[in-house]
Amino acid sequence: MRNKGAIRLLAIVFALVSLYQLTFTYVTKKVEKEAREFGAGDIKKEQTYLDSIRGEGVYNFLWLKNYTYKECKELEMNLGLDLKGGMNVTMEVSVVDIIKAMANNTKDETFNAAIAQAKKMQANSGKGFVELFGEAFEQIDPNAQLSSPDIFGTLEMKDKIPFGASNAEVLKVIKEETDGAIDNTYNILRSRIDRFGVAQPNIQKADVSGRIIIELPGIKDAARVRKLLQGTASLEFWETYSASEVMQYLNAANTKLAEINNAGDVEEEATKEEVKEEAKDEEVALLDKIEEEGAQDSLATSQDAKAMAKMYPLFSILNPTQPGGRPTAVVGRSHIKDTADVNRILAMPAIKSVLPRNLKFFWGVKAIDEGANWFELFAIKVTSRDGKAPLDGDAVTSAREQVDQQTAKYEVSMSMSGEGAKTWARLTKDNVNRAIAIVLDGYVYSAPNVIGEIKGGQSSITGGFSVAEAKDLANILKSGKLPAPAHIIADEVVGPSLGKESIQKGMYSFIIAFVLVLVYMFFFYSRGAGLAANIALITNLFFIFGVLASLGAVLTLPGIAGIVLTIGMSVDANVLIYERIQEELKSGKGLGLAISDGYKNAYSAIIDGNITTLLTGIILYLFGEGPIKGFATTLVIGIFSSLFAAIFITRLIFEAQTARNRKVTFATKFTDNWLRNSAVTFLQKRKVFYVVSGIAIVLSVVSLSTKGLNQGIDFTGGRTYVVAFDKAIGVEDVAKSLETVYGHAPEVKTFGGANQVKISTKYKIEESGTEVDDEVENLLYEGLKPYLANGTTKADFLENNRKMSQKVGPTIADDIRTSALWSILGALIVIFLYIMVRFSNWQYGLGAVAALAHDSIIVLGIFSIFYGWLPFSLEIDQAFIAAILTVVGYSINDTVVVFDRIREYLGLYPKRDREEVVNKALNSTMRRTFSTSLSTMVVLLAIFLFGGTSIQGFTFALLIGVMVGTYSSLFIASPIAYDTSLRVQKVADKRKK
């Protein structure tokens, strides 16, 4: 093998990088275990501990860099919501509302008719709403003008839409405005999510215009998330107090709090929400522990800390701004773990009595230190009678980052409307040498000092910004008040108990499947070759997790299934190589030459099979959503990793053994001749198999046409809830009870046990908003009340029994169905083209696509025929589409390997009878087909039996698909390619005559 040293070096580097990436996960798990031990079941204490060390070094990597806990958390392996628990939300900005707002909610009949028609067109179109609106407007009245004063030719839009502008020009402006509104919504949502305190949140724009997808691992309060995400954004400009002006009031507040504490009246004065003496003792205990670990170097001993906390109860958690220096609105700073206590103290009635009535406090939105531990507190001055800010986001017309030509530093340029400019001029005139705070959703994003009165509405905000900070502030200013709300159109809540259950069952299935594959390879290919294959498989697994961690990819339950399936399929590369080596050995070649030629001859089939599977994975990733993408990610990574391990790692092992003159065996005495000389007459019996497959396809089509499929809410839209009871429950009784409250009988089925059901309802799915979600959940509680334990309150029910909820709107359901269809069609087209080009023969491509269509129809037919009969869910959802595409990938891999051997044999025996040669080629692949199919089946069976309810339907589809795919490669794809080639040859012969 050439470049042996380079490959060995690459493998070592790859292994070290994977190890480095995975160590961050190990460190964070270790720290979190210590936090759990310290908390002893108290989640608040546990979180306080983690907050206290957020910026502390916990991982000293080779003494080169001491990573903080926050940095390790950002670099650890990302777990999906199904493994960790949390919330997945899909939001949509109402483009319709934006367009109406731009037209001042005009009553123009043509405009409103076009809006209504565009809504109907959107249900069956992949175009954006603005384009559909333009088409509808043109259809309703070809002579109407969008730039007319009654529609978009308004006073507010005159700067953007000139008089007499064409419809195309107006639509271009509308598109720019709606895109800008979507970007603004994205920025505001991102800033809100940053305040959830979620580790590794994920927010991204979807392919569909206006859609924003948000993942919040670990979030438990779904109602709070829905409320905050759908709340109206509020950008405000506030006047401020200086720190020197506020210091006397903070001193008074500190003195007052010390008096209250000394009098023992903390509980009475601290409001009904919090603070008991016991909690105070726990905080002091935590402070003591942090001191002992050296985290609070400023306090020499625990006694000093207690004395400080008693004498200066406010200033022990809020470091006041020191007098002197430049004027600032920052009155102090606090550690992240203390900010809630500062808020509580400042909200106490007794403390508020010593503060000015027009004084408010807002925290800065970003931490001021690298460890993200310390936050600044700003003093806001209320100058209006109604308590509102003197200027809000409506006044801002544009904002952008730029470089100051004199200082070469980044600043933000801001423009205001006419009325806004007047208010801004008065505000800046009254606050020269003072700060004006820019506040969004109650957090200060910037508080620049005013140098002089600013007239004309043009301002420059400076503050030593980095490029990113300047862009962020410009985006916040541009956001203003959103012209249209963002609605939640789909959300999924996975409780932590379900996540823990999924992790355990997923890992059990993974371990069992992996061990079974290792045992099989060791048994079938002996200690020598089997051990090498197992080393390659373990290395492959290590590389996959290392790459996932380094890319920041999210590991989900379908992702685990993808890894397990990749391992099962990666056996195929080893099998192909080993079978080729055995053929070379039996032809009389020496061990070294046989290994070299075996690898060389196996490359073609390995590369063709893996490229077709890779193409399927790429299409799956491009067109799929949610779990499909997670599955595709691990599949694609696994293909590259398994190829490297199977081809190079095993080769290095064999060459090291042969260099030491060690004997390497590739079969045991039990498996050496297994299926070695099979003589199945595949082509002679092809008509029988055509009939068998024809009957199966007809039965499938009939069932699909009559009974249909059990479509999940991914395709129909609706809400689902998984509810656990304290005893076994009858699904029919539950359905009848819920029919009385919903007005229709929802679908109710047992889910994972006799005492747990999955309830799916379409009640008010067309409507959105937190009030609708609350109504559906309240009705669910009312309907299930007869089956709940006595004394179960609504709050208890929602907290303890609703393990998982999911909502998918009808619009997103249509998009999922469309993306699934395009995924399957795209995979078939690409595979056909690749095989046609690779084999220089369209008959091979036709045979492969016919086999894939055959496999897909039969799998769909089985799901149609048997749903409702089997004791597990056969629901058609996104995971099922991933299964179908995986079946396509597996089947095409198998088919391409068979075709590759047929092509090889036809080249070796050009003068022999074609039917005889094809039969001989098919028989020569039997050992490889048996080993690959059996090992993959064993893997899938382990996942099916031990992987849990949530993926049983998914793995059942894969099990059926692997069996049908193996059958179709030998008995459908090859005979069709043979028959069409024969027919083409006969036509060519007739033309010659």
pLDDT reported for residue 692: 94
- The verdict on 753 and 695 lying in the same domain is no
Q: Which residue carries 């009475």 as its tokens?
A: 268
Structure tokens at 725: 């009871």
Structure tokens at 945: 């039996």
Ranking 637-646, 688-697, 940-949 by mean pLDDT, the lowest is: 940-949
Binning pLDDT at 50, 70 and 90, where does residue 300 land? very low
In a domain, 673, yes or no: no
pLDDT reported for residue 306: 65
Close Cβ partners of 412 (under 8 Å, ≥ 6 residues apart): 399, 400, 401, 402, 460, 461, 465, 470, 473, 474, 477
The percent of residues in the chain predicted with pLDDT above 70, rounded, is: 83
**d(Cα 687, Cα 259) in Å, to the nearest integer?**
97
Q: Look at residue 361 and tell me whether its pLDDT is greater than 90.
A: yes
In a domain, 218, yes or no: no
- The verdict on 453 and 343 lying in the same domain is no
Instruction: Enumerate the β-bridge partners of residue 807.
Output: 491, 719
CA distances from 434 to 238, 240, 621, 659, 828 (A): 11, 7, 53, 80, 67
Binning pLDDT at 50, 70 and 90, where does residue 676 land? confident
Best-predicted range by mean pLDDT (25-34, 186-195, 405-414, 807-816): 25-34
- The verdict on 187 and 59 lying in the same domain is no
pLDDT in tens, 121-153: 876 666 778 888 999 999 998 888 888 888 888
Instruction: Enumerate the β-bridge partners of residue 320.
Output: 332
- Mean pLDDT estimate for the chain: 79
Binning pLDDT at 50, 70 and 90, where does residue 299 land? very low
Structure tokens at 737: 């009870």
> Which among 387, 406, 432 is the end of a domain?
387
- Between 698 and 940, the more confident residue is 698
- The verdict on 397 and 280 lying in the same domain is no
In a domain, 670, yes or no: no
**d(Cα 496, Cα 220) in Å, to the nearest integer?**
8
Whether the CA torsion 356, 357, 359, 365 is positive or negative: it is positive
H or E element that contains 761: strand 756-761
Tell me, what CATH number does 406's domain have? Answer: 3.30.1360.200
Binning pLDDT at 50, 70 and 90, where does residue 811 land? low
> Which among 387, 412, 433 is the end of a domain?
387
Binning pLDDT at 50, 70 and 90, where does residue 696 land? very high
In a domain, 365, yes or no: yes
- The verdict on 252 and 380 lying in the same domain is yes
> Which among 773, 808, 843 is the end of a domain?
808
- The verdict on 501 and 477 lying in the same domain is no
Q: Look at residue 712 and tell me whether its pLDDT is greater than 60.
A: yes
Q: Look at residue 229 and tell me whether its pLDDT is greater than 60.
A: yes
pLDDT in tens, 761-778: 878 777 766 777 778 888
- The verdict on 468 and 541 lying in the same domain is no
Q: Look at residue 273 and tell me whether its pLDDT is greater than 50.
A: no
pLDDT reported for residue 502: 59
CA distances from 522 to 223, 528, 697, 928 (A): 53, 8, 39, 15
Structure tokens at 763: 């009640």
**d(Cα 192, Cα 129) in Å, to the nearest integer?**
27
- The verdict on 139 and 23 lying in the same domain is no
- The verdict on 183 and 62 lying in the same domain is no
pLDDT in tens, 162-200: 878 888 888 988 888 888 777 777 777 776 676 555 556
Close Cβ partners of 446 (under 8 Å, ≥ 6 residues apart): 437, 438, 461, 463, 473
pLDDT reported for residue 611: 83
pLDDT reported for residue 277: 44
pLDDT in tens, 56-91: 788 888 777 888 888 888 788 877 766 676 777 888
Q: Look at residue 49 and tell me whether its pLDDT is greater than 90.
A: no
Q: Look at residue 752 and tell me whether its pLDDT is greater than 90.
A: no
- The backbone torsions φ and ψ at residue 490, rounded to the nearest 5 degrees and listed phi first, read -160, 135
Binning pLDDT at 50, 70 and 90, where does residue 271 land? very low
What is the arithmetic mean of pLDDT over 359-366?
90
Q: Look at residue 285 and tell me whether its pLDDT is greater than 70.
A: no
**d(Cα 454, Cα 942) in Å, to the nearest integer?**
71
CB of 913 closer than 8 Å to CB of 946: no
What are the helix and strand counts (H, E) for the chain? 35, 23
Greatest Cα pair distance, the chain, in angstroms, is 116
* 3-state SS assignment for residue 675: coil
Inter-residue long-range contacts of 911-920, CB under 8 Å, 24+ positions, other chains counted: 914/978, 914/981, 914/982, 915/683, 915/684, 915/978, 918/682, 918/683, 918/974, 918/978, 919/680, 919/681, 919/682, 919/683, 919/684
In a domain, 926, yes or no: yes
Best-predicted range by mean pLDDT (89-103, 185-199, 275-289, 373-387): 373-387
What is the arithmetic mean of pLDDT over 531-547?
89
Close Cβ partners of 158 (under 8 Å, ≥ 6 residues apart): none
pLDDT reported for residue 297: 42
pLDDT reported for residue 549: 85
Q: Look at residue 383 and tell me whether its pLDDT is greater than 80.
A: yes
Cα angle: 543, vertex 544, 548; to 5 degrees: 115
In a domain, 235, yes or no: no
- The verdict on 294 and 374 lying in the same domain is yes
pLDDT reported for residue 363: 92
The number of beta carbons lying within 10 Å of the beta carbon of residue 172 is: 15
Domain that residue 25 falls in: 4-74
- The verdict on 561 and 609 lying in the same domain is yes
**d(Cα 616, Cα 740) in Å, to the nearest integer?**
47
**d(Cα 899, Cα 293) in Å, to the nearest integer?**
66
pLDDT reported for residue 753: 63
How many domains does the chain fold into? 6
Q: Look at residue 281 and tell me whether its pLDDT is greater than 60.
A: no
What is the arithmetic mean of pLDDT over 152-164?
78
pLDDT reported for residue 496: 53
H or E element that contains 35: helix 4-39
In a domain, 354, yes or no: yes
**d(Cα 525, Cα 191) in Å, to the nearest integer?**
57
Helix axes 591-623, 557-586, angle to 10 degrees: 150
The percent of residues in the chain predicted with pLDDT above 90, rounded, is: 11
pLDDT reported for residue 688: 93
* 3-state SS assignment for residue 335: strand
- The backbone torsions φ and ψ at residue 909, rounded to the nearest 5 degrees and listed phi first, read -125, 65
Q: Look at residue 877 and tell me whether its pLDDT is greater than 90.
A: no
- Between 395 and 797, the more confident residue is 395
**d(Cα 42, Cα 21) in Å, to the nearest integer?**
31
Residue 435 DSSP class: B
Q: Look at residue 697 and tell me whether its pLDDT is greater than 90.
A: yes
- Between 619 and 433, the more confident residue is 433
- The verdict on 506 and 374 lying in the same domain is no
- Between 32 and 299, the more confident residue is 32
In a domain, 575, yes or no: yes
pLDDT in tens, 3-48: 777 888 888 888 888 899 899 989 988 998 888 888 887 767 787 7
